[in-house]
Chain A
């Protein structure tokens, strides 16, 4: 407990932040170029920061209602989710759920229904909290993020978000759509006390099968760990995954076990109220197993259709 004896940062009256409501994305980006300006969409992160008595930005640029900022658009090879999309809308998006169930499951795992109606996908990502759910699913899915500033546009992976600058805004999240073969994905969040809170561990898995039903890609991301979400390298297991009629969705049990072992070995969970690091390591293996199994079964179902 350190907040009690902390010296105040200033002694004058606290000015409430200025709230700016631009009409377009370009205008928003220009406003964000000012020092001390920060974007606000659902406002949940700012509320939590204030709750924790962290400094608030002098200027808030409202981006939650920018035209087109929250739409989901489909093209041949990708689905593009506007960063302003609310998690509740994504959770209820049946078309997205059919293709990327891990993403809708993660969106639907965050906090409570009320909060999901507030939180935007971009805001959830930009908060860069290793315990958040959507980044785990998006990391496993290989999402590409279009990031804009007043004078630049670049593409980042979820794992690159540490380099997001203050003047930048996540504009959209792009997920690949596969023409051939089948993709199965799954997101699991372990609520250790059985009620909504931050995850004890959260894991997402993606299994891609080729037209013959052989595994072509395995992906596993682990959240709620230091530096998370952490992508677990399973490239060398793809060949071994092969086609195992005994394993879930044709992916061999031994491969799933090895993937779970790696997930546990290569991540560093921290002890907190939801469990010790040692317990979380065991749970990472358990939920990696569950996520991969579900993803493989879903991929096989997709291949069978």
Chain B
């Protein structure tokens, strides 16, 4: 692959200050940008050589198993570990007594590493065992005798909010974990001036990440320091939380990222697995590996937060949106994790889609005795976009305006500022709406309707990084040019399967003039790599991409300065292409000068007082840390999507077939088309799971069968014909014009499926998932009478 770095005017020395650049002519984007570069990890993954969490092997390593609560709410009367300790092969049994008795959590510390006094959901961790192998450990875990006093539990939002409801945590009156509200622009006055008002209640449900690889950790202590090999999305954030949970200083914990077999928010360090692993390893005096079973992943990971929205929208008779009012309650489960931050995104983000004159909201995060919830691809926006999207769809019907036209009438544009001060930079939302409508054949299908088929459109906005973990959403990187001509990009962001190491390698290659094959992007290790927040909030391409780009620029400046000295030519005459430093022929000579990068680097090292060439770069998202009412520009760049779907419903069964789905995505410059396309297609599949297929039967506060037997992910058989398009777009603050793309395509899917079903057969489902049964009863028994009779049969 040919890569070229054409020298631009450069300032010598330090990395450039984060000054906004003018959008360069896109025609001169380096060739490696926007190219289908093969993933740097493709071969090791398809040949099975990639080392995931459970592939870590350390000398003398033991295996762990966890004792979990079978009750949704109970007082622990006693824990007897004596039988388990006597089982041959068992090296350590730990309980809450072996912990620092410190509550931890990203925002609201309420979780003990191992339960003390009480358990609060089915799956809550009580004790753990380390033994010579997994089977022995699990058998020993079954030998731990726990005596419970079962307590009344709150197993739904309604039960939790009922007057006099049992408290999940004694310090959370009314079972409220968090709440906030705002009224910006005077919603009542705008509703008074509205010609059309629509409203309704819509509820989402738990969805599990269902990564191919479950959460896992290997821990090893060396004196007072523990190293954790974890399949985490966020090594540096995890280190901080795990240190807190262990009651140790930050310096005592080192986190190393293994290969990550899917993250989707589920491996962002809010669960106890790694903490328990460390506690076991300390007590056993040997390395311990602890990997969730699939059942544990369902019972005790941090699935998507169910949210119930009451939405009210006002419009003028000609379709201009006036005001929006939402009252939302969210099911936190038993412990808080990142749910508090998710609540924020789920309340304000969608206000950056349309030109609302006024927005009012009240959002409450409610404790229940159910599995704790947390981050999941979309971070609250799929639930928000489903509820608010349903209200917009109702409004389109009431106003007699086709949804794409209604969206175009109200959509934000570049330069718009949301009521929460979200400052929209590049924005091709309108282009996306038009392209999605065209791709699905909206107006043609409208002109020739087919019975039992329905059309719908939805839109969404997402961030490229989000300032919510303290007043920092930055990344830093080092680029070391090696004397073998290669470059090592040292960055703490990591790879969770999205292809981040490949796109970062492309950015470095473009900036350095090296082939991608000569770039190595390191995995995060909190001891060795630069600080980073990790793979969440669709931030790596934008935030880390900028940091890597600046570090590579800095390295390239040093390289050219060294070459200039060595060749006795001004640096401005030099450029790097395909791993070779080029200069035009010297005066009186007609042979161009070509020196391999490695030769320059080596000569720079080997000269007297020689120096290594290491570039450094940093980027902090140009965003604001929101205040208590969530006012503040969350991100420096917003990405957009419009999606349209056509479905067919079998009225005799209610079964839905999604026939076609068109997605037009504005993620700025597409750095690597197949990787971006994969993100969009995967997100749509996950959205269809949330919308249609993924659910459990529940009893006594837990899924009755926590396995993939009941919990069904979408397969090829349910995938519609997809049309994926990328808007012609360029984000001036992004690396080569790029923005995030990892989450956004999931957000509108539940809403468009529901709206298309309503368009097809006139049934609007108000609680996810959109099952055949709900549609069937909506058609055949709208008042619910026959169903009651059927159940009493």
Residues of A that sit less than 8 Å from B by CB: 1-2, 4-8, 11, 13-14, 51, 190, 192-198, 271-273, 275-279, 281-283, 286
* In contact, B791 and A8 (Cβ under 8 angstroms): no
| A8 CB contacts on chain B under 8 angstroms | 139, 142-143
Residues of A near B712 (CB, < 8 A) are 193, 195, 197
Contact A1–B717 (Cβ < 8 Å) = no
B693, A279: Cβ atoms under 8 Å? Answer: no
Q: Are A194 and B657 in contact (CB under 8 A)?
A: yes
Report the bound CA distance from A193 to B136 in whole Å.
38
Which of A1, A197, A275, A278 contacts B709, CB < 8 Å?
A: A197
Closest approach, in angstroms, between the C-beta of A14 and any C-beta of chain B? 7
Q: How many residues of B contact A (CB 8 A)?
A: 51
B696 to chain A, nearest CB (A): 6
B697 touches A273 (CB 8 A): yes
Main DSSP-derived SS at the B contact region: mixed
Stretch at the interface among B409-417, B493-501, B737-745, B768-776: B768-776
User: How far is A272 from B698 in the complex, measured between Cα atoms in Å?
Assistant: 9
Decide if B693 touches A195 in the complex (CB within 8 Å).
yes
Give the residues in chain A near B696, CB-CB below 8 Å: 273
- In the bound assembly, the distance between CA atoms of A275 and B655 in angstroms comes to 12
Instruction: List A contacts of B31 (CB < 8 A).
Output: none
Asked if B653 and A193 sit within 8 Å, CB to CB, the answer is no
Instruction: Give A283 to B776 CA distance when docked, in angstroms.
Output: 10
In the complex formed, the residue of B with least CB distance to A48 is B709
CA A247 to CA B538, docked complex, whole Å: 59
Q: Which residues of B contact A5 (CB under 8 A)?
A: 70, 146
Q: How far is the CB of B717 from chain A (nearest CB, A)?
A: 5
In the complex, the 8 A-B pairs of residues with the closest C-beta atoms, listed nearest first: A278-B790, A5-B70, A4-B70, A1-B702, A273-B697, A273-B710, A279-B773, A8-B142
> Within the assembled complex, what's the spacing in Å between the Cα atoms of A196 and B712?
9
Complex CA distance for A8 and B136, rounded to whole angstroms? 12
Contact residues in B for A194 (Cβ distance below 8 Å): 655-657, 692-693, 717-718
Cβ contacts under 8 Å, B780 to chain A? 282
From B135, B700, B718, give the contact of A14 (CB < 8 A): B135
In the complex, what's the smallest C-beta–C-beta distance from A292 to chain B, in angstroms? 15
B776 adjacent to A1 (CB under 8 Å): no
Closest to B774 in A: A279
Nearest B residue (CB) for A8: B142
Q: Bound state CA distance, A276 and B786, in angstroms?
A: 13
Whether B715 lies near A11 (C-beta < 8 A) is no
Q: Are A195 and B714 in contact (CB under 8 A)?
A: yes
Q: Is B34 an interface residue (CB 8 A)?
A: no
- A192 to B135, Cβ gap below 8 A? no
Known: A1-B702, A4-B70, A197-B709. A11 touches B717 (CB 8 A): no
Q: Report B-chain residues with C-beta under 8 Å of the C-beta of A282.
A: 776, 780, 790
Nearest Cβ on chain B to A171's Cβ, whole angstroms: 30
Bound form: Cα–Cα A276–B710 in Å: 14
Cα A276 to Cα B793 with chains together (Å):
12
Pick the contact of A1: B122, B135, B772, B786 (CB < 8 A): B122
Residues in A with CB closer than 8 Å to B715 are 195-196
Besides A272-B704, A277-B793, A286-B653, 13 new A-B residue pairs in contact (Cβ under 8 A), listed by A number: A1-B699, A4-B69, A11-B139, A192-B653, A193-B693, A196-B717, A273-B696, A273-B697, A276-B791, A277-B791, A281-B790, A281-B793, A283-B653
CA A14 to CA B136, docked complex, whole Å = 9
A11–B697 touching, CB < 8 Å: no
Contact present for B693 and A1 (CB under 8 Å):
no
* B173 close to A (CB within 8 Å): no
B614 on the A face (CB < 8 A)? no
Q: Is B703 an interface residue (CB 8 A)?
A: yes
Which single residue of chain A is at the shortest CB-CB distance from B698? Answer: A273
Interface assignment of B787: CB less than 8 Å from any CB of chain A: yes
CB–CB B718/A278 < 8 A: no
Between A14, A193, A195, A272, the greatest number of chain B beta carbons within 10 A of the residue's beta carbon is seen for A193
In the bound complex, residues from chain A placing their C-beta under 8 Å from that of B146 are 5
Chain A residues with CB under 8 A of B702: 1
> What residue in chain A is nearest B713 (Cβ atoms)?
A195
Q: Bound complex: CA of A183 vs CA of B767, how far in Å?
A: 45
Provide the residues of chain A in CB contact with B711, threshold 8 Å. 273
Interface 1/0s, chain B 646-658, versus A by CB < 8 A?
Answer: 0000001101110
For B83, the closest partner residue in chain A by CB is A11
- List 11 contacting pairs A-B, 8 Å CB cutoff, sorted by A: A4-B70, A14-B135, A193-B772, A195-B714, A195-B718, A197-B709, A272-B697, A273-B704, A277-B790, A278-B790, A279-B777
Shortest Cβ distance from residue A275 to the other chain B in the assembled complex, whole angstroms: 5
Nearest CB to that of B67 among chain A residues?
A: A4
**Closest chain B CB from A203 CB (angstroms):** 13
* Residues of B with C-beta under 8 A to A1: 70, 122, 299, 699-700, 702-704, 706
Residues of A within 8 A of B70 (CB): 1-2, 4-5
Q: How far is the CB of B539 from chain A (nearest CB, A)?
A: 33
A194, chain B: closest CB distance, angstroms: 4
Nearest CB in chain B: distance from A123 CB, A: 18
Cα–Cα distance between A14 and B709 once the two chains are bound (Å): 26
- Asked if B57 is at the interface of the complex by the 8 Å CB criterion, the answer is no
B695 on the A face (CB < 8 A)? yes
User: Measured between C-beta atoms, what is the minimum distance from B786 to chain A in Å?
Assistant: 8
Assuming A1-B704, A4-B70, A282-B776, is B787 touching A192 (CB within 8 A)?
no
Among residues of B, the one whose C-beta sits closest to the C-beta of A194 is B718
Contact present for A286 and B652 (CB under 8 Å)? yes
Complex Cα distance A76/B299, Å?
57
Residue of B nearest to A2 (CB): B70
Per the bound structure, the CA–CA distance linking A160 and B773 in Å amounts to: 33
Give bound CA distance, A42 to B718, whole Å: 28
Contact (A275, B693) CB under 8 Å given A1-B122, A1-B700: no
Partner of A278, one of B83, B139, B717, B793: B793
Q: With the chains together, A273 CA to B703 CA distance in Å? A: 10
Complex Cα distance, B718 from A196, in Å, reads 10
Bitwise, B701-731 to A at CB < 8 A (1) or not (0) is: 0111111011110110110000000000000
B56 at interface by CB-CB < 8 Å: no
Pairwise interchain contact B87-A276, C-beta atoms closer than 8 A: no
B299 to A, closest residue via Cβ: A1
- Which residues of chain A are near B68, meaning CB under 8 Å? 4
Q: A13–B132 Cα gap in the complex (Å)? A: 13
What residues of A have a CB within 8 angstroms of the CB of B776 in the complex?
279, 282
Interchain CA distance A150-B299 in the complex, whole Å: 46
Name which of B655, B656, B699, B786 has the most chain A CB atoms within 10 A of its CB.
B655
Q: Which residues of A contact B142 (CB under 8 A)?
A: 6-8
Closest chain B residue, CB of each to CB of A285 = B652
Considering the complex, give the chain A residue whose CB is closest to the CB of B707.
Answer: A51
Across the interface, do A192 and B87 meet the contact criterion of CB distance under 8 Å? no
Most A-side CB within 10 Å, residue of B299, B699, B793 = B793
